[in-house]
Amino acid sequence: MLRSAILSRSVLRPWMLAASAAGLLFVVVGCQDASTSSVSDAEAPPDTTPPAVGGEGEVDGAGEAIPADVNGKVEHVVVGEGESEHVEMDFQQAIHTEGKLVVVDFWATWCGPCRMLAPELEKVVKDNPEKIMLVKVNVDTEEDLAAHFKIESIPDVRFVRDGKLIGGFIGFIDADGIKAELPPL
């Protein structure tokens, strides 16, 4: 019974999936409704509300310049009319792109919420391509970058302007929620 309750998408939240994939253990206590003998998808719709997210200035190091020795390879996501193109580039080059807010998405291939967030981020960039640049940092291959930014759970999105960290959020948020988190463009 506990196995099926833990595996049920109606019990798990997206942020729990990310944390469990990262090796964190959840102990589920009292996951059944007192009036029922089992938990089913029909009885408990999934909650897509993200955990608390930070806005501008609520991430470690906000307002500070990112040191020049913090570097690695990132994927610049070029959003166009058709499919997005991913172009490898240098992290320092990306965060110093003049005149643009750089959205840095820390993610991993095995992270379900990260894969859900990617098209939402691309929608936001598509609405403002002249003002926003999206780059992705794979935490499995760019461990030093993830360590510098103290990435403890993913997806973790940071906002950078002119080489300075200015905000961000953690977890899955849809495109409208992302727009609400963005600092002024």
Catalytic positions, please?
A: 111, 114
**The dihedral formed by the CA atoms of 69, 59, 147 and 144, expressed in degrees to the nearest 10:** -40
Angle CA(151)–CA(156)–CA(157) in degrees, nearest 5?
125
Q: Which amino acid is at 85?
A: E
* Residue position matching structure tokens 């089992």: 38
Instruction: Select from 123, 83, 121, 81 the least CA-distant residue to 102.
Output: 121
